[in-house]
Amino acid sequence: MNKAVLSIFGSEWFGISISTLALAQGFILLFLETHNIYLKFVAESMTFLGLFIFIVVFILWTLRGLTASGVRLSHWNNLTRLSFTALIPIVGFVLNYQLFFFFGFNNITARLSLINYFFEYVLAFSIGIMLGYKLYTKEITQKEINYAIVIPPLSIGAGIFLAVPLMDYFRFSYGTIIYFLSIMGIGIFFFLYIFIGSLALSGHVTAKHQESLPTTMLPVGIASLIVINLLTISTFSFIPGVNISLNSVKFISILLWGFELWNFIVVLFLIITNPTRGQLGIWAYGFPLGLFATSTIKILAFTKLEFMYVIFIIIIVVMVILWIYAWLNTYIVVNRIINIDKIGK
């Protein structure tokens, strides 16, 4: 594979892995609701597919940085590609959680996962700091201001997936630290979303670049992640006096879910009226929808409203359709890469 081909494999390719893991999460939730063992098999297969894709993409992305001249600096200077790098800790959090779900854990795997949690948290935090520094110091092009820049804040909040089993297991040791970091993470990604998200919205509605259109689903993921974090944190109380009423959390969660639903419907209309062709950006739909499905199930658990389950099923169906459609777009991209490789030879 020549350098021209390797130069194409930027951090946006990690979207394939996290979208596949998000679909696995959807089938996990569907299995928990229906107890259909075949759905569990599908979810498990999707998890391992997501792991395999991540390994392949990570190798290609690393080789690109090591061999393609001049791309390292340009990669970290581009806000969009810098932001997509934050998908790496998200994959780490979600994949680790899903492996726990399927195989359980023992003392060794729990401690390895604890190390992974702290590593991914620091990585997500560091990428967020780098993004903030670039926003203040870099001369930014119009194309760079899109919803992709909310991924670094979102990656910090994604730690809640792995935090839950770890807080349960290390309840009398590291549980308090993880609890503190989870609450701190909510503050970081919530306020960063308010400021950075407003900037992204302004940039998108004024420029309207077609290639960044799929990132408009990301606000659904942010709102969903706030719901997931709040509902989860409210069930723990590691620090005396530092907790929140479950009833208040339920009220806030429904408010946020209403915004998720509105944004979801708006973006569905965008998908239908402005189809994406031959772009990897379409993978940006996957993870936010996985979070939306998770928050919907959590709200269904305490509201018992049947229409919530119907909406959950609709989300899963949309995820499957968009996942297949994203692969069709990826085929076009890969075919283009093969042609570049032939020209290079």
Which segment of 46-50, 171-175, 251-255 scores lowest on mean pLDDT? 171-175
Pick 23 or 341 by higher pLDDT. 23
313 to 40, 260, 284, 287, 290: CA distances (angstroms): 16, 15, 20, 16, 12
- The closest alpha carbon to 253, from 235, 229, 237, belongs to 229
Q: What is the mean pLDDT of the chain?
A: 87
pLDDT score of 235: 85
pLDDT at residue 23 greater than cutoff 90: yes
pLDDT at residue 342 greater than cutoff 80: no
* Residue 10 domain boundaries: 3-344
pLDDT at residue 292 greater than cutoff 60: yes
Domain count, the chain: 1
Pick 135 or 278 by higher pLDDT. 135
Q: What is the pTM of this model?
A: 0.91
61 to 12, 46, 81: CA distances (angstroms): 10, 22, 12
pLDDT score of 71: 60
Q: What is the mean pLDDT of residues 27-40?
A: 95
Pick 172 or 124 by higher pLDDT. 124
Looking at the chain, which runs of residues are DSSP E strands? none
- DSSP-derived secondary structure for 258-287: HHHHHHHHHHHHHHHHS---S-GGGGGGHH
pLDDT at residue 218 greater than cutoff 70: yes
pLDDT at residue 22 greater than cutoff 60: yes
CATH number reported for the structural domain that contains residue 328 in this entry: 1.50.10.150
Q: What is the mean pLDDT of residues 73-78?
A: 71
- Which residues, at least 6 apart from 318, have a Cβ–Cβ distance to it below 8 Å? 268, 289
Which segment of 32-36, 97-101, 220-224 scores lowest on mean pLDDT? 220-224
Q: What is the mean pLDDT of residues 68-92?
A: 80
Q: How far apart are CA 18 and CA 289, in angstroms?
A: 11
User: Which amino acid appears at position 195 of this protein?
Assistant: F
pLDDT at residue 3 greater than cutoff 70: no
Q: How far apart are CA 59 and CA 293, in angstroms?
A: 31
Digit-coded pLDDT (tens) for 151-194: 998 899 999 999 999 999 998 889 999 999 999 999 998 888 88
Q: How confident is the model at residue 135 (pLDDT cuts 50, 70, 90)?
A: confident
Q: How far apart are CA 93 and CA 85, in angstroms?
A: 14
Q: How confident is the model at residue 74 (pLDDT cuts 50, 70, 90)?
A: low
